Amino acid sequence: MTSQAIAEQLASTPFMQALRRQKSDYTPVWLMRQAGRFMPEYRQVRAKTGFLELCHNPQLCAEVTVMAVDLLKVDAAIIFSDILLPLQSLGCGLEFVKGDGPVIHNPVRSVADVEKLPKINCSESLSYVLEAVKTARRELPENIPLIGFAGAPFTLASYLIEGGSSRNFEKTKRFMYTERRAWDMLMQHLSQIITDHLNNQIEAGAQAVQIFDSWVGSLGQSDYTEFVLPHVARTISGIRKDAPVIHFGTGTSSLLELMRQAGGDVIGVDWRIELASAWQKIGYDRAVQGNLDPVVLFADKNEIKRRAENILNQTGGRPGHVFNLGHGVLPETPYENVKYLVEIVHELGSK
């Protein structure tokens, strides 16, 4: 099959149709963190390989990406990677500490720290991610789209400033409020890196991209409007138009209209709001993705089915819904329940 024929076949898959609000035969489903510790096969890989080592190994990343599709029968693959990898090239001293998650040993805390951040060439510094995308695209079935991704400017800035995860984001907000010039410089710098990295992944073979704004739900509407929206809008406006953009955040029920304003063909919705209410807020001229609570997958199959059916019923039959969790699959999730969710969405979501 020619590359043009493959591209046309991928464009007509239920996942890509949903992203573009076109009618499809059934509701497509994929899962954030669909390759993870809940999966025995993934645990076998990780038993021999550290997380960052795995992320830097294109062949292994592609293998894990394809493995998740083969085992779960989802409708899209997402490249195995991490949103924080671009920060390594900024000299931040990124480390993943067992039990603590990511740690930034050289956080950004001043104007001088921002000014010292180097310009980076994403195609060179993140070449291993692009090679993983190319390899996964070759090894995936010709009817399975591949998603590339990156962290959003606010979330990456928060990691850089906090030095890791945070509950209240005191350091980030203080920096945002008191160092406005430095904040805008940092966000502009990160915005360009994110745009370049996503465009490079599209060039390497991704059919769609997702922006993860995992921490932006810590902000109120006025702060999002003033300090974040312009930078996200700049990021998304710079992304190639031939690949749909999924714009996702957690804790963002009060920010959905503003996220829509910032951009994205699809707005990802977490579980803290009913899907019908979220879609009404966002507007029906955008597709939506979501939004089962990941903890529902610890329940029995009857409850999983009931909750999945409830979400599917909230779409009002309109095209443009991609079924997903409201965030990633949790590590202790029963493997069989994850597989069952995909099966039941395909069964209930047939049109």
Of 21, 42, 75, 82, catalytic: 82
Helices (H), 126-179: 127-139, 153-162, 170-178
Is 240 labeled as catalytic in the residue annotation? no
Kindly state the DSSP code that residue 291 receives in the 8-state scheme.
E
Is 82 labeled as catalytic in the residue annotation? yes
Q: What is the distance between the alpha carbons of residues 323 and 26, in angstroms, rounded to a whole number?
A: 10
Is 167 labeled as catalytic in the residue annotation? no
Is 159 labeled as catalytic in the residue annotation? yes
Cα-Cα-Cα-Cα torsion 254, 260, 264, 269, nearest 10 degrees, comes to 30
Query: Is there a contact between 267 and 243 (Cβ–Cβ < 8 Å)?
Result: no
Of 42, 159, 270, 286, catalytic: 159
Of 46, 109, 240, 272, catalytic: 46
Is 224 labeled as catalytic in the residue annotation? no
- Alpha carbon 297 to its chain centroid, in Å, reads 20
| Helix, strand, or coil (residue 296) | helix
Q: What is the distance between the alpha carbons of residues 267 and 23, in angstroms, rounded to a whole number?
A: 18
Of 37, 109, 260, 272, catalytic: 37
Give the catalytic positions in this structure.
33, 37, 46, 82, 159
